[in-house]
Amino acid sequence: MEKTIIIDGKEVRLKSTAGTPMRYKAQFGKDYLGEVMKLYQIAQKIGLKPEGLSEEQSLKLLESIDFEVFYNIVWVLAKTANKEIKPPLDWLDEFEEFPLVDILPEIQDLIASTIQTKKK
Protein backbone atom coordinates (compact mmCIF):
# COMPACT_ATOMS: atom_id res chain seq x y z
CA MET A 1 0.00 0.00 0.00
CA GLU A 2 1.27 3.46 -0.84
CA LYS A 3 0.15 7.02 -0.19
CA THR A 4 1.49 10.54 -0.28
CA ILE A 5 1.03 12.86 2.68
CA ILE A 6 2.07 16.45 3.37
CA ILE A 7 4.59 17.07 6.15
CA ASP A 8 5.75 20.65 6.71
CA GLY A 9 4.41 21.63 3.29
CA LYS A 10 6.35 18.87 1.51
CA GLU A 11 4.90 15.85 -0.26
CA VAL A 12 6.21 12.68 1.34
CA ARG A 13 5.57 9.32 -0.29
CA LEU A 14 5.02 6.48 2.17
CA LYS A 15 4.75 2.79 1.39
CA SER A 16 4.13 -0.38 3.34
CA THR A 17 5.19 -3.77 1.96
CA ALA A 18 6.03 -7.20 3.30
CA GLY A 19 9.62 -5.95 3.55
CA THR A 20 8.78 -3.01 5.82
CA PRO A 21 9.10 -4.95 9.11
CA MET A 22 12.46 -6.40 8.03
CA ARG A 23 13.72 -2.98 6.92
CA TYR A 24 12.68 -1.59 10.32
CA LYS A 25 14.57 -4.33 12.18
CA ALA A 26 17.65 -3.87 9.97
CA GLN A 27 17.71 -0.10 10.60
CA PHE A 28 16.67 0.13 14.25
CA GLY A 29 17.36 -3.36 15.64
CA LYS A 30 13.84 -3.60 17.05
CA ASP A 31 10.77 -5.68 16.24
CA TYR A 32 8.37 -3.75 14.00
CA LEU A 33 5.21 -5.27 15.48
CA GLY A 34 6.34 -4.46 19.01
CA GLU A 35 7.04 -0.89 17.97
CA VAL A 36 3.65 -0.63 16.23
CA MET A 37 2.04 -1.62 19.52
CA LYS A 38 3.90 1.26 21.18
CA LEU A 39 2.61 3.57 18.45
CA TYR A 40 -0.92 2.36 19.15
CA GLN A 41 -0.42 3.31 22.81
CA ILE A 42 0.76 6.77 21.71
CA ALA A 43 -2.37 7.16 19.59
CA GLN A 44 -4.56 6.23 22.54
CA LYS A 45 -2.79 8.69 24.81
CA ILE A 46 -3.05 11.49 22.27
CA GLY A 47 -6.72 10.65 21.91
CA LEU A 48 -7.18 11.99 25.42
CA LYS A 49 -8.35 15.55 25.23
CA PRO A 50 -5.47 17.69 26.56
CA GLU A 51 -7.89 20.41 27.64
CA GLY A 52 -9.52 17.84 29.94
CA LEU A 53 -6.24 17.24 31.76
CA SER A 54 -4.52 19.30 34.39
CA GLU A 55 -1.13 20.77 33.55
CA GLU A 56 0.55 18.10 35.68
CA GLN A 57 -1.39 15.32 33.91
CA SER A 58 -0.50 16.77 30.50
CA LEU A 59 3.19 16.84 31.42
CA LYS A 60 3.07 13.24 32.67
CA LEU A 61 1.33 12.21 29.46
CA LEU A 62 4.02 13.83 27.31
CA GLU A 63 6.78 12.28 29.42
CA SER A 64 5.28 8.83 28.92
CA ILE A 65 5.27 9.00 25.12
CA ASP A 66 8.24 7.53 23.25
CA PHE A 67 8.28 9.85 20.23
CA GLU A 68 11.28 8.01 18.76
CA VAL A 69 8.99 5.11 17.83
CA PHE A 70 6.74 7.44 15.88
CA TYR A 71 9.59 9.07 13.96
CA ASN A 72 11.18 5.69 13.19
CA ILE A 73 7.97 4.22 11.82
CA VAL A 74 7.31 7.22 9.58
CA TRP A 75 10.92 7.08 8.36
CA VAL A 76 10.72 3.37 7.49
CA LEU A 77 7.49 3.95 5.56
CA ALA A 78 9.21 6.77 3.64
CA LYS A 79 12.33 4.64 3.06
CA THR A 80 10.20 1.79 1.73
CA ALA A 81 8.68 4.21 -0.80
CA ASN A 82 11.97 5.91 -1.70
CA LYS A 83 15.25 4.05 -1.25
CA GLU A 84 17.13 7.33 -1.81
CA ILE A 85 16.01 9.13 1.36
CA LYS A 86 18.66 10.01 3.88
CA PRO A 87 19.33 8.24 7.19
CA PRO A 88 16.67 8.98 9.85
CA LEU A 89 18.26 11.98 11.61
CA ASP A 90 19.30 13.65 8.37
CA TRP A 91 15.86 13.07 6.87
CA LEU A 92 14.09 14.49 9.92
CA ASP A 93 16.33 17.55 9.78
CA GLU A 94 14.69 18.41 6.45
CA PHE A 95 11.49 19.30 8.32
CA GLU A 96 10.96 22.26 10.61
CA GLU A 97 7.63 20.83 11.77
CA PHE A 98 6.62 17.20 12.11
CA PRO A 99 3.05 17.34 13.47
CA LEU A 100 2.42 14.04 15.20
CA VAL A 101 -1.31 14.66 15.62
CA ASP A 102 -1.73 15.26 11.87
CA ILE A 103 0.56 12.48 10.64
CA LEU A 104 -0.61 9.64 12.87
CA PRO A 105 -4.10 9.30 11.34
CA GLU A 106 -2.52 9.44 7.88
CA ILE A 107 -0.29 6.41 8.48
CA GLN A 108 -2.72 4.14 10.30
CA ASP A 109 -3.90 2.34 7.16
CA LEU A 110 -0.31 1.80 5.98
CA ILE A 111 0.62 0.20 9.29
CA ALA A 112 -2.52 -1.90 9.34
CA SER A 113 -1.86 -3.19 5.83
CA THR A 114 1.42 -4.70 7.01
CA ILE A 115 0.08 -6.51 10.06
CA GLN A 116 -3.51 -7.45 9.28
CA THR A 117 -4.70 -10.72 7.83
CA LYS A 118 -6.76 -11.21 4.69
CA LYS A 119 -8.33 -14.38 6.10
CA LYS A 120 -12.10 -14.52 6.13
| Highest mean predicted confidence (pLDDT) among 22-26, 34-38, 99-103, 105-109 | 22-26
The model's pTM is: 0.81
Query: What number of other Cβ atoms are within 10 A of residue 40's Cβ?
Result: 12
Most confident range, picked from 34-38, 60-64, 72-76? 72-76
State residue 94's pLDDT score. Answer: 96
Domain chopping of the chain, boundaries: 2-112
pLDDT exceeds 80 at position 36: yes
